[in-house]
Amino acid sequence: MKTIDKYLFQALDNYPYWLEGTIESLDYAFSYDSKNTMILCLYGRIQAEQLMNYEEAKSYFQEALSINIHALEVYPYYLQTLILNEDYEEAQKLIDFALTIKGINKADIYIKKAILLEAQQEFKKALKEIKQAKLYSVQHDYDSGISDVEKRIKSKMNLLENKKSKKGGKDSKKKSK
């Protein structure tokens, strides 16, 4: 095993529970190979998930993909960052491209597409993407994540339905007076 792998594994093992150890290990790994896409991806995740510095995170993800467009580990995290940063058009383009990459976890990408549509309050379209994610899912433990997203979207739809029915009820009471 190469030294860089040792430090990268330490960083991955530490994240997100011990950030200081994660950064220390990442910095060592980065000093051995500044073009390692896994290292850049984890730097990007820290920026997005811990510091909510989405623009900085995007630059790490973009750098990783400029080094290797087939860095499959980058796409889900980059997409999540774009969605959180409300870069919806850019996220859609990345989703479209990611779905063409051989070997990518298509179920994961379809889930990100559903989350993108959810963020845009396009709930019916989001549920269609959930169906696609289920069709492409090949890991049993991943199915529960898909179901969680589906439940969240359906609960938002129910919230909107309840809100509409309450408004409708108030309007009909006003009209009957």
pLDDT one-digit tens code per residue, 39-60: 999 999 999 999 999 999 999 9
State the pTM of this model. 0.90
The highest-level CATH class for domain 3-176 is mainly alpha
What percent of the chain has pLDDT above 70?
94
Give the 3-state secondary structure of the chain: CCHHHHHHHHHHHHCCCCHHHHHHHHHHHHHHCCCCHHHHHHHHHHHHHHCCCHHHHHHHHHHHHHHCCCCCCHHHHHHHHHHHCCCHHHHHHHHHHHCCCCCCCHHHHHHHHHHHHHHCCCHHHHHHHHHHHHHHCCCHHHHHHHHHHHHHHHHHHHHHHHHHHHHHHHHHHHHHC
The model's confidence at residue 170, banded by pLDDT at 50, 70 and 90, is low
> In the chain, what are the domain boundaries?
3-176
pLDDT one-digit tens code per residue, 55-99: 999 999 999 999 999 999 999 999 999 999 999 999 999 999 999
Section 105-119 average pLDDT: 97
